[in-house]
Chains A and B, each alone.
Chain A
């Protein structure tokens, strides 16, 4: 019976995601949404991937990392090098971007994940800055003036990447590995005492998160015509952090929702960057004082619907079940 219910939810979400994809695709090809909105939708997709990948690190595993823009930068430059310098297709670029970012995640994760809380935060922040400065000093990828990239990111690519990201991270979270990560978040010492290899799982979560951030970087690079190291400063890391914090530390659908809402807000405030940042900072402060667990807490959108309709796993957001 439970298997039937689960598969019902599964097919429903497949259907919903297919409908979403087709509708947006038709709107775009039909010219109803102009390039301004197309850009916004692509940017939204990239932000969703970033938010979900950071959600795995902060929300699920409880490792407070604020250097996520570093992985974004690694992915962006690696994929741009693959497509521009080696003239390989976008798929190869995205894959290599993700893999290189994952390697960077492992490289930084193994030494720093022994640290906790504030120290880890600062170390990851330092890592992000080091990445930026290293890219600034490599002439091969253009140094400070950056690298020119052809526009290749389209809605199907973005949609495919979102789907894969959410599927992988959701399934990881619901597996025994994911439960191990959650136990680390709740109490690392207790998890250790229960025989969980905490270092292994922390690094694993970090590497998976970095991989998807790298893919988001690849999409980012091929959307903006030019990428510069200065795009990936710590302010970018905070941008990603706020998606996870606002959505709820530990809620995947919350992270997705926050990414969608905040992308819309920031698109409309594009011409007033300091108003946008003031707004973001106010959200952070007020949120932490009155609702530190974030809007959704650790709940998912699907659980709201489950309570209302007994038994049937009706689904309001296709992103949350897969």
Chain B
């Protein structure tokens, strides 16, 4: 039964990874850029959620929505200022910029409010233990899983049923051709950043409610692991990011359950290196041949 509980923990953590990984994978799919700053958008989201709960005295869902909206705007600002001038630059230049933006958000946050921890209020969501077949599960984990699933479903609807989603798919397939067909590529890219950042913001608030503690460098490790999740599922593929995130959460939970909790962080990176070596296109990806 211990194992089952660990699995539930793993799925909750995995759904947070999945929400962050979605942003990575969407941005990578459309501009071929590893947005290192994405983990920090997640951190900013957690802080916006925290301040709207403590200062504005809001409950969980309004805070979640405020954080998502603010992060969407934040993501678009990052894209317009830092990444847009580099649209035609080399991949390495874009990657270095992304690292720079990430460092800037982290240290800007420390500069503004100091590096100290904050704690989310614990009474934000009802925390009862629900018994299912003799296993007690925290109601919070179920709620978090539910919220994540709803957000992912909304994302699927946006991508597959709306005009902007169609534009996003077109740009990620072939940006030049999409431009010729009258799609405003710049706006589409901004929309992608907005949606991805909103999901990261939501993940931030969920993380805060579930794990209580937040701090300015909290986004680094989940950000990197979410990238691993995106690679695991096949980068650029939205369902891949969801499955990759959940799978990574489960792997970490199993490593912890096996008694190697100190090695948990290494597990994600071992998974990354193994997947890059043996299945570089990811679980859901198609193998592409490189043309000269």
Contact = CB atoms under 8 A, between A and B. Distances in A.
B177 interface: no
A118 interface: yes
B265 A133 contact: yes
8 contacts: A118-B34, A121-B34, A122-B231, A126-B268, A129-B266, A241-B99, A285-B97, A289-B85
B90 A292 contact: yes
A278 B112 CA distance: 11
A134 B260 CA distance: 12
Given A119-B280, A129-B269, A285-B100, A277 B263 contact: no
Contact of A122 (B34, B108, B277): B34
Q: Interface of chain A, helix or strand or loop or mixed?
A: helix
Given A127-B273, A274-B110, A275-B111, A280 B103 contact: yes
B97 A288 contact: yes
Interface in B104-151: 104, 106-108, 110-111, 115
A189 B292 CA distance: 8
A289 B91 CA distance: 13
B227 interface: yes
B108 to A, nearest CB: 6
B86 interface: yes
A278 B107 contact: yes
Contacts of B158: none
Interface stretch (A108-116, A157-165, A258-266): A108-116
Given A130-B266, A284-B97, A289-B86, A115 B103 contact: no
B97 A122 contact: no
B73 interface: no
Interface of A: 64, 66, 111-112, 114-115, 117-119, 121-123, 125-127, 129-130, 133-134, 136-137, 189, 234, 238, 241, 245, 249, 274-275, 277-278, 280-285, 287-289, 292
B138 to A, nearest CB: 28
A288 B82 CA distance: 9
A262 B91 CA distance: 25
Contact of B104 (A119, A129, A278): A278
B111 A289 contact: no
Contacts of B280: 115, 119
B104 A64 contact: no
Contacts, number: 118
B101 A285 contact: yes
A133 B288 CA distance: 34
Given A189-B290, A274-B110, 10 more contacts: A112-B273, A122-B227, A122-B228, A123-B276, A126-B224, A130-B270, A281-B104, A285-B100, A287-B96, A288-B93
Contacts of B228: 122, 126
B181 interface: no
A31 to B, nearest CB: 37
B262 interface: yes
Nearest to A58: B92
Contacts of A118: 32, 34, 91, 95
Nearest to A119: B276
A134 B266 contact: yes
A288 B265 contact: no
Contacts of A241: 96, 99
B272 A122 contact: yes
Contacts of B180: none
B111 A288 contact: no
